[in-house]
Amino acid sequence: MMTGSFDPILLETFLAVTQTRNFTHAAQRLGLRQSTVSQHIRRLEQQAGRRLFQRDTHSVVLTPDGEAMIGFARSILEANARARHYFGGARLRGHLRFGVSDDFVQTRLPELLRDFVLLHPGVDLALTVGTSALLRGRLDEGELDLVLCKRQLGEDRGELVWRERLAWVGRADLRLSSDPAQPVPLILYAPPSITRSTALETLERAGRPWRIVCTSSSLSGLRAAAFAGLGIAVSALSLIPPELVDLGHALRLPDLGETEFVLLGGQKPLRGPPAALAQALLASGDRLQRPATGGTAPPR
């Protein structure tokens, strides 16, 4: 049985765990000890009177009640943020050059940016979309203030938003030769690209030959080529376009492993508009793993 109202601090911890699926990573993001994160989750479960996570030494999985809690937690924290902004006095102003990986074009990121602009009308937001590698280069050159992109496992630069398994994707009716000596037809980003490098290195380690049938600098180009049945592309599991499916197991392709989505700032600590947007994205990272609503059907 639920007792009292939900503590926003506990809700912030809950959302951090749902996005990272890891108590240690959530603790690092929040600047807390792992034991404190565990304590926060226990207290929230006591307040809700429900189990929110199934967890063991290897995994953290949301229960159905945990899935339901995501929407409630986000609504409560967003209402608190609006109230703090309204009564906080000084309005946020300035320029913000934000770079975002092409992966997020079809997600709910536009909704998050719309909410941010409405909440902070004094911020002049300039958006750049591109591959993670190119965005990181522009950030290092001082041309961007904040970047939301991928990093390879093992890197420690950036603030973790979430970790995700990579998948080989294509049309559900795509058929490849059963002969492992036949090259895998690949649809890849133009270099430099983290997913391109990951795909090629994975196939090389597995001893699988490959050939590149399509190269594109945009997600729309990759999606069109994959939907046309030209070959196999690579996508984060939760960001697979609705007209494509995960084909890795069916086609006996080697495991691509995982990638991490992170927020990167420049050389100086984040302040002002970049810090505010980073905070908003971290608080709502689960929305980035969901497709945009009201999308159009794939071409026929």
- Give residue 292's pLDDT band: very low, low, confident or very high (50, 70, 90): low
Q: pLDDT tens, 6-31?
A: 888 999 899 888 888 888 888 888 88
Residue-wise pLDDT tens digits, 187-217 = 999 988 889 999 999 999 999 999 999 999 8
Question: Which pLDDT score is estimated for 295?
Answer: 40
| Model confidence at 33: pLDDT above 80 | yes
Residue keyed to tokens 């050059």? 97
In the DSSP assignment, the letter for residue 228 is T
- Give residue-wise pLDDT tens across range 71-116: 888 888 878 877 776 666 557 889 999 999 988 877 888 888 988 8
* pLDDT attached to residue 167: 95
Q: What percent of the chain stands above pLDDT 90?
A: 41
Report d(CA 1, CA 172) in Å as an integer.
Answer: 45
Distance CA 187, CA 232 (A): 6
The yes-or-no verdict on residue 298 having pLDDT over 50 is: no
Decide: 273 and 120 in contact? Cβ < 8 Å. yes
Distance separating alpha carbons of residues 144 and 154, to the nearest angstrom: 24
